[in-house]
Amino acid sequence: MSTENLQEQHPAHSLAFLEDAEHGIRVPVTEIALDPSPNGEANTPLRVYRTSGPGSDPVVGLPAYRAAWIAERADTEAYEGRGRNLLDDGRSALRRGAASAEWKGAKPVPLRAKPGRRVTQMHYARAGVVTPEMRFVALRENCDVELVRSELAAGRAIIPSNINHPESEPMIIGKAFLVKINANIGNSAVTSSIAEEVDKLQWATKWGADTVMDLSTGDDIHTTREWIVRNSPVPIGTVPIYQALEKVNGDASALTWEVFRDTVIEQCEQGVDYMTIHAGVLLRYVPLTAERVTGIVSRGGSIMAGWCLAHHEENFLYTHFDELCEIFAQYDVAFSLGDGLRPGSTADANDAAQFAELDTLAELTKRAWKYDVQVMVEGPGHIPFHLVRENIERQQELCDGAPFYTLGPLVTDVAPGYDHITSAIGATEIARYGTAMLCYVTPKEHLGLPNKDDVKTGVITYKIAAHAADLAKGHPGANERDDALSKARFEFRWRDQFSLSLDPATAEAFHDETLPAEPAKTAHFCSMCGPKFCSMRISQDIRNEFGSKSAQEAIAAGMAEKSAEFLAQGGKVYLPETISVGAPQ
């Protein structure tokens, strides 16, 4: 674990809080200090959304921020949970008698709903109760708490908040709110350790990941997840079928509902906030993928398709869906309904298999809502640009506005190594039309496992897509950071340009490659033009002349008149006084 994970992105950044004194709620934000303008005017510090939390020593974990709120509702009971079996950490743990790095930090006693109680945020929203989680989110999103409650009640937004993950800071996923991004981490059979995954978690939230999915498929799955949940200020998502598959030696045909249910309960007790469930991969849909260019590319989707074919039975996640709802309702775990039949190539986009599954995901969404269980729906994948919009519009209509959570989509298949870019293009388009959360794609997509640099590149690229969509949606205040940075640029406040950017260190490093000298950071020219001539400098002269709005209008009117004369006579236009431009000094 490198300490850089816990440092601010930039020296001009600091931790500040939005306060709701009445309810004793404090929302952490990042405050960016700004230099004064050249004319001496001060520039108000900018406060931006912060996902990195208070920071933690990984072996200790984070404080249980929400514990008091959960206790106050008096709707939960502590119980002796399922605990952990060595097999939960795979065969190597069985051999060893231990995981490779056991969790030694405090582990909360598992909570579940008291008999007959529902503990979900959706339940309270529907009952008209405003929870501290809702107030936290309203402050964080700078919106009315009633908007939060009503969107939750309608199922158009979710606050993933497992009662066994009290360390998390509430965040909301819904199209009425800021577009969110998820970062995937997790080990695989071929590489990486527990420490690396915790390091990636802290790194991803430092750069702006709103949720993190632990997609581990290798050894130490249970213990890796324990370290991640205890250290995570953001909701954690998983795909439980991966662990269940480990428990049956990777033999998809050996999976059973009982093994899966046991794995889900194990993860509910650990504090996983949302789980991807591939309950829409129905037996009758499987043959629809046979003629595809790339068949089934979702791991979970192909596991369940394999199981269905091996047993000639309907997907057990579908047949046992109501039992899953009952379990999730006891912990406030949210469904992320997996699109196991998503297209794996632009050639397969928007096909019969994909849309057949979406019909089933819509049916399941409404079944989950009957249990007050929060739901989001997963989306593709690989979609050519002109077919992207249909995906969000169809999902929103069929699923009554349940939040859409998409992977990209990638708008071309020809650029492995650059799929963070091919997918950010599709992600911006699909978020513009209402997708609530974007699952990042790193440069390693299709090629290998992301390292720390890839995680950062993926997160920054997706912050760009999400923010561009917020601007396109006209989200209130979304343009503040753009305008502050543009003003700094126009005023040659180089340090502020760096500190206002999504990746200050990279911006500064790129600048310094061309103009390393410290004075260049306050120089009144850009490295593109050099000191002798600069376009910004000339427009400063123009502004100095036509500065005030009234003056500008007067002159514009006068100029229009004069230029009419000019055009008539081909003569000269006379201005009130001479303006000297010359070469910038």
Residue of 37, 43, 100, 188 interacting with its own copies (CB under 8 A): 188
What whole-number distance in Å separates Cα of residue 192 and Cα of residue 454?
14
Please enumerate, by residue number, every residue annotated as part of a binding site for substrate: 184, 213, 242, 278, 298-300, 339-342, 378, 405
Residue of 163, 213, 236, 282 interacting with its own copies (CB under 8 A): 282
Q: What ranges make up the beta strands (E) of 331-423?
A: 334-337, 375-379, 404-407
Q: At a CB cut-off of 8 Å and minimum separation 6, what does 459 contact?
A: 181, 183, 204, 207, 208, 209, 440
What whole-number distance in Å separates Cα of residue 444 and Cα of residue 185?
12
79 near its own copies (CB under 8 A): no
Please give the helix or strand (H or E) that residue 29 lies within, else none.
strand 25-32
Give the residue among 468, 547, 162 at the shortest CA–CA distance from 332.
Answer: 162
Residue of 206, 278, 444, 495 interacting with its own copies (CB under 8 A): 444
Residue of 118, 299, 394, 456 interacting with its own copies (CB under 8 A): 299
The CB-side HSE value for 276 (13 A sphere, CA atoms) comes to: 30
Residue of 513, 519, 568, 569 interacting with its own copies (CB under 8 A): 513
Please enumerate, by residue number, every residue annotated as part of a binding site for Zn(2+): 382, 446
Residue of 485, 492, 495, 499 interacting with its own copies (CB under 8 A): 485
Phi-psi label, residue 81: left if phi above 0, alpha if psi -120 to 50, beta otherwise = beta
Q: At a CB cut-off of 8 Å and minimum separation 6, what does 215 contact?
A: 184, 185, 186, 238, 239, 242
536 near its own copies (CB under 8 A): yes
294 near its own copies (CB under 8 A): yes
CB of 19 or CB of 322, closer to its own copies: 322
CB of 14 or CB of 514, closer to its own copies: 514
Q: Which amino acid is at 136?
A: F
Q: What is the DSSP string of 290-344?
A: TTSSS----HHHHHHHHHHHHHTS--HHHHTHHHHHHHHHHHTPEEEE--TT--S
Beta bridge partners of 27: 18
529 near its own copies (CB under 8 A): yes
Residue of 347, 370, 397, 477 interacting with its own copies (CB under 8 A): 347
Of 135-143, 227-235, 364-372, 412-420: span binding its own copies (CB under 8 A) = 412-420
User: Measured from the CB of residue 130, what is the shortest distance to its own copies in angstroms?
Assistant: 33
Q: Dihedral of CA 485/489/491/493: which sign?
A: positive
Q: What is the DSSP letter of 382?
A: B
User: Measured from the CB of residue 504, what is the shortest distance to its own copies in angstroms?
Assistant: 9
User: Measured from the CB of residue 487, what is the shortest distance to its own copies in angstroms?
Assistant: 6
User: Measured from the CB of residue 2, what is the shortest distance to its own copies in angstroms?
Assistant: 19
Please enumerate, by residue number, every residue annotated as part of a binding site: 184, 213, 242, 278, 298-300, 339-342, 378, 382, 405, 446, 526, 529, 534
44 near its own copies (CB under 8 A): no
Q: Is there a contact between 28 and 44 (Cβ–Cβ < 8 Å)?
A: no
473 near its own copies (CB under 8 A): yes
User: Measured from the CB of residue 349, what is the shortest distance to its own copies in angstroms?
Assistant: 10
The 3 state secondary structure assigned to 111-152 is EEECCCCCCCHHHHHHCCCCCHHHHHHHHHHCCCHHHHHHHH
CB of 265 or CB of 439, closer to its own copies: 439
Beta bridge partners of 30: 15, 48
User: Measured from the CB of residue 208, what is the shortest distance to its own copies in angstroms?
Assistant: 11
Helices 240-247, 257-270: axis angle to 10 degrees equals 120
336 near its own copies (CB under 8 A): no
362 near its own copies (CB under 8 A): no
Q: Is 354 helix (H, G, I), strand (E, B) or coil?
A: helix
Please give the helix or strand (H or E) that residue 461 lies within, else none.
helix 452-472
Helix, strand counts (H, E) of the chain:
21, 15
What whole-number distance in Å separates Cα of residue 439 and Cα of residue 213?
9
Residue of 287, 322, 477, 522 interacting with its own copies (CB under 8 A): 287
CB of 161 or CB of 428, closer to its own copies: 428
CB of 230 or CB of 456, closer to its own copies: 456
Of 23-31, 106-114, 273-281, 557-565: span binding its own copies (CB under 8 A) = 557-565
Which residues in the 124-183 window bind its own copies by CB under 8 A? none
Of 115-123, 132-140, 259-267, 304-312: span binding its own copies (CB under 8 A) = 304-312
User: Measured from the CB of residue 513, what is the shortest distance to its own copies in angstroms?
Assistant: 5
Residue of 130, 257, 472, 521 interacting with its own copies (CB under 8 A): 472
519 near its own copies (CB under 8 A): no
Which residues in the 229-268 window bind its own copies by CB under 8 A? 245, 249-253
Of 49-57, 161-169, 225-233, 339-347: span binding its own copies (CB under 8 A) = 339-347
Residue of 263, 298, 330, 391 interacting with its own copies (CB under 8 A): 298
Of 32-40, 64-72, 92-100, 440-448: span binding its own copies (CB under 8 A) = 440-448
Which residues in the 487-506 window bind its own copies by CB under 8 A? 487, 489-490, 497-498, 500-503, 506
Q: Is there a contact between 271 and 235 (Cβ–Cβ < 8 Å)?
A: no
418 near its own copies (CB under 8 A): yes
Phi-psi label, residue 40: left if phi above 0, alpha if psi -120 to 50, beta otherwise = left
Residue of 175, 511, 568, 569 interacting with its own copies (CB under 8 A): 511
What whole-number distance in Å separates Cα of residue 90 and Cα of residue 93?
6
Of 61-69, 186-194, 226-234, 368-376: span binding its own copies (CB under 8 A) = 186-194
Peptide bond between residue 379 and the one before it cis (omega within 30 degrees of 0): no
Peptide bond between residue 233 and the one before it cis (omega within 30 degrees of 0): no
